[in-house]
Structure 1
Amino acid sequence: MSVATAQSPWYKHIWPWILIGILTCSVTLSLTMVTIAVNNPDNLVNDNYYEAGKGINRSLDRELLAQTLMLRASVHLDELTGEADVRLTGNSRPHTLELNLISPTQPQKDRKMVLMQSSSEPDRYIGQLTDKIEGRRFVELLGVENGQTWRLFEEEQISQDKDLALGDEAIQGAEDLSK
């Protein structure tokens, strides 16, 4: 007599459930990653490289104007009062300056402020910060002289009670232009 082997149904075995679990996790994680990618697009990508390349020349023109005017600036950010104090030396004294503190990776942490010239000290400009700023930033100081915009731009590490010096480094990318 033959003995019939009783086989249990597939859903009572562990291996089909392990395979189903792996597939379910893969689909769930894939959909989660797609949702995150769609809801949080990358802001650092530039679609028009030609225009960005042309912008480098405009930027260098502004920095070369600042160099021609022999501009230097000392920036002090007071953490306690939130005051931004800029001392400008050189051959330009606009009534207002624009100070931009740009985060290299997080646009929501960028800060822009207008600095007003002090009436008692013509080389001093004062503005107000809205919050505490620390870490690596691109510091950009803009002013206008005779209808032309000049620019001091450097990468700085901002920390408590440390003055930032702008205009003391060579202009990157302009080494060949001075020849």
Structure 2
Amino acid sequence: MQQDIKPWYKQLWPWLLIAVPVFTALKAAHTVMLMQGNIPDMVVDDYYKEGQAINQRLALYREAELRNLDAKVLIAGNQIIIRFAQNDTLGEHMLLDFYHPTIANKDFNLTAERSGKLLYIATLPHSLQGNWRIAVTDNSKAWKLRANLVLPASQEIQLGY
């Protein structure tokens, strides 16, 4: 009885055993390439400096609360309207900072012009969709109001501290 013996490279089992680590190494290299191309924007290098900036922002929100500022924001088409409840010492312009929660490349700033006693209006550079954060401040940057927006929105959203 003669047994037909094939060389190892013509057998199925060695190739299956080799394929598992090769596939794993290729998948790991692919994952590393994806991670290098999509570095998260939320990672901060200097935590101490970021903590100081957070404390400064909180002081601006407290200042807005002390001034008893009350405002609402409405986005209608490509216009953003900021309506204050009272206007004792507000200037001719408001600075609007739009922040995307996860993609820093989408962040942008606008200047809203006064339109009447209580209204400030600005034109958006493009249509906004999804979740956004907005911060409103005056030219002197002595106070700040903020809100989370889910766009498109059909009603006014309260700006808070």
Shorter-chain TM-score range: 0.7 to 0.9
Count matched residues: 160
Query: What residue identity is the alignment partner of 1:154?
Result: A
Query: What residue identity is the alignment partner of 2:92?
Result: H
Q: Which residue pairs with 1:153 in the alignment?
A: 146
Q: Is the 8 A contact 1:75 1:163 kept in 2?
A: yes
Q: Which runs of 5+ in 2 are unaligned?
A: none
* 1:51-90 paired onto structure 2 within 5 Å: 51-79=49-77, 82-90=78-86
Q: 1:125 to 1:162 in 2, by over 3 A?
A: same
TM-score, structure 2 length as denominator?
0.88
- 2:129 equivalent to 1:131: no
Q: Which residue pairs with 1:105 in the alignment?
A: 102
Q: Which residue pairs with 2:34 in the alignment?
A: 36
Q: Is the 8 A contact 2:147 2:157 kept in 1?
A: no
Aligned counterpart for 2:159 among listed residues 155, 160, 166: 166
Identity rate, percent: 24
CA deviation after TM superposition for structure 1 residue 153, in Å: 1.6
CA deviation after TM superposition for structure 1 residue 62, in Å: 0.8
Query: What residue identity is the alignment partner of 1:92?
Result: T
RMSD, aligned CA:
1.9
Query: What residue identity is the alignment partner of 1:126?
Result: I
Question: d(CA) in 1 for partners of 2:141 and 2:97?
Answer: 18
CA deviation after TM superposition for structure 1 residue 133, in Å: 1.6
1:46-70 per-position Cα deviation (integer Å, ceiling 9, x unaligned): 1111111112221121111111221
1:26-58 per-position Cα deviation (integer Å, ceiling 9, x unaligned): 121111111111222121111111111112221
Question: d(CA) in 1 for partners of 2:141 and 2:94?
Answer: 13
Q: Which residue pairs with 1:177 in the alignment?
A: none
1:123-145 per-position Cα deviation (integer Å, ceiling 9, x unaligned): 2111111222233222211114x
CA deviation after TM superposition for structure 1 residue 19, in Å: 1.8
- 2:109 equivalent to 1:116: no
Q: Is the 8 A contact 1:73 1:166 kept in 2?
A: yes
Query: What residue identity is the alignment partner of 2:136?
Result: L
Question: d(CA) in 2 for partners of 1:52 and 1:94?
Answer: 29
Q: Which residue pairs with 1:95 in the alignment?
A: 92
Question: d(CA) in 2 for partners of 1:13 and 1:157?
Answer: 60
Question: SS state of the match for residue 80, structure 2?
Answer: strand
Question: d(CA) in 2 for partners of 1:73 and 1:93?
Answer: 12
